[in-house]
């Protein structure tokens, strides 16, 4: 895995966007689409050779016009989709944890995310809902979606993604409790295997009061039901 100082420029931009304010620089999204699909950061021969072998194995001609640049594009794509491995949690938080005398539930929901199933390297995507009860400290609102993206841009299983988000907030804030619910569609279950479009997987992680106190857990799930009713 490249060190933070060795990242291709297009991956470094994504890492910076997760760690810092998204949209600060005009034209940033367009800047992600540059060049001819190569990283410009030295040869990526092993990945590109492997993609070329896959194309040959399925009976395609990797040298035909439409596929000639595909190995380089696939390499670039995977470095972008796994940029979360390179995010520095300290830079992501950037001091945005504040002392405040508030002890009621904080809920951030309908957070969109995309990730890659580590079993088939196919996408899964959906929304996350994150809640916590402060113990004298809160985290900046924009940081929670970035935490979701930091862990989403990796090879994942949904269960671990859910747990990692909850554990991160528990470790950094030491709140009275944390609750995370993720709902996602897995293309490995839609395009292959059981081939069941519309299937949605739901996972949850509840820590502290969300696990030990029924009314806290019920309040959290009531917020999610209101979202569903208004959808």
From 78, 224, 77, 83, select the one nearest 149 (Cα to Cα). Answer: 83
86: annotated active-site residue: no
Length reported for the chain: 231
Q: Among the options 10, 75, 186, 219, which is catalytic?
A: 186
Q: Give the span between the Cα atoms of 182 and 200, in whole angstroms.
A: 10
Q: Among the options 25, 53, 90, 118, which is catalytic?
A: 118
Task: Tell me if 168 sits within 8 A of 29, measured CB to CB.
Answer: no
118: annotated active-site residue: yes
Both structure tokens of 48: 């590109």
Q: Among the options 21, 25, 90, 119, which is catalytic?
A: 119
188: annotated active-site residue: yes
Q: Among the options 12, 41, 60, 120, which is catalytic?
A: 120
10: annotated active-site residue: no
SS (H, E, C) 136-151: CEEECCCHHHHHHHHH
C-alpha atoms less than 13 angstroms from C-alpha of 187 in its C-beta half-sphere: 11
158: annotated active-site residue: yes
120: annotated active-site residue: yes
Alpha carbon of 41 to those of 5, 36, 187, 218: distances in Å?
A: 11, 13, 31, 51
Q: Among the options 117, 149, 164, 219, which is catalytic?
A: 117
119: annotated active-site residue: yes
Q: What angle do CA 100, 182, 140 make, to 5 degrees?
A: 20
Q: Among the options 17, 19, 156, 158, which is catalytic?
A: 158
Q: Give the span between the Cα atoms of 200 and 193, in whole angstroms.
A: 15
Q: Which residues are catalytic?
A: 117-120, 158, 186, 188
């Amino acid at each position: 895995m490249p060190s933070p100082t060795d990242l291709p420029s297009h991956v470094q931009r994504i890492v910076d966007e997760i760690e810092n304010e998204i949209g600060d620089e005009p034209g940033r999204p367009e800047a992600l689409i540059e060049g001819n699909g190569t990283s410009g950061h030295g040869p990526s021969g092993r990945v590109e050779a492997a993609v070329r072998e896959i194309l040959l194995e399925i009976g395609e001609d990797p040298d035909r016009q439409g596929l000639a640049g595909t190995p380089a594009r696939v390499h670039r794509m995977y470095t972008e989709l796994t940029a979360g491995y390179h995010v520095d949690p300290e830079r992501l938080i950037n001091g945005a944890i504040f002392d405040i005398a508030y002890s009621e539930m904080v809920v951030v929901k309908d957070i969109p995310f995309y990730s890659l199933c580590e079993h088939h390297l196919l996408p899964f995507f959906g929304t996350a809902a994150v809640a916590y009860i402060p113990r004298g400290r809160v985290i900046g609102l924009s940081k929670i979606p970035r935490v979701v993206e930091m862990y989403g841009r990796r090879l994942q299983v949904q269960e671990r993604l859910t747990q990692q988000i909850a554990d991160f907030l528990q470790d950094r804030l030491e709140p009275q409790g944390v609750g995370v619910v993720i709902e996602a569609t897995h293309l490995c279950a839609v395009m292959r295997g059981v081939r069941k479009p519309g299937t949605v997987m739901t996972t949850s992680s509840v820590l502290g009061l969300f696990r030990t106190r029924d009314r806290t857990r019920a309040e959290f799930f009531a917020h999610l039901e209101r979202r569903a009713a208004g959808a």
